[in-house]
Amino acid sequence: MERTFAMIKPEGVERGLIGAIISRIELKGYRIVALKMLRITPELAARHYAEHQGKPFYQELISHITSGPVVAMVLEGPGVIAGLRQMMGATNPKDAAPGTIRGDYALEVGKNVIHGSDSPASAAREIALFFTPGELGEEQAG
Ligand code: DAT
Ligand code: MG
């Protein structure tokens, strides 16, 4: 079954949107495989956002994602990678359709409240960055 990595960003936690966002994910029918609140270190932020190194918004992106606790999760379901991206809406909330998470809860691209993996390769990489096999219930017996 397909899995993806999702994260409620610091402004989502700060604004009290954890319940609303998780509720949408659960009502859609995706299974929450693992979930935790953590403070992202600059090292983890740099690895997570490696593809954006050198872009004009990179420093702001790193300082923002490390500015407060986030809620990280692994979601499972058929087509969940693309499905969550559809539920999130466009990267820039001003382009995100009403009914999407970013369309309904955000105004600025730098504070777009949720991250979701953009491909199977990103999902596998990001899940492994944030969760141990034990946290995913994948420890070997014995
Ligand atoms: P997404 O989060 O939709 O996958 P992305 O991977 O292109 O988008 O960018 C990662 C994050 O970086 C995005 O959620 C918000 C920030 N970002 C992207 N483009 C930006 C821009 N032009 N100005 C400021 N922040 C930006
Ligand atoms: Mg992305």
Number of DSSP helices (H) and strands (E) in the chain, helices first? 7, 4
> Known catalytic residues?
115
Which residues, chain by chain, have CB under 5 Å from ion ligand 2? 118
CB 74 within 8 A of CB 33: yes
Residue 36's pLDDT is what?
A: 98
Instruction: State the ipTM, two decimals.
Output: 0.98
Q: Average pLDDT per run of 10 along the chain, which is 142 residues long?
A: 98 98 98 98 98 98 98 98 98 98 98 98 98 88 63
Of ligand 1's listed atoms, the one at least distance from the Cα of 91 is 3
Give me ligand 1 centre to Cα 91, in Å.
6
Q: Ligand 1: residues within 6 Å at CB?
A: 52, 57, 61, 91, 109-110, 112, 115, 118
Q: How much is the pLDDT for 139? A: 74
Phi, psi of 68, deg, nearest 5: -170, 175
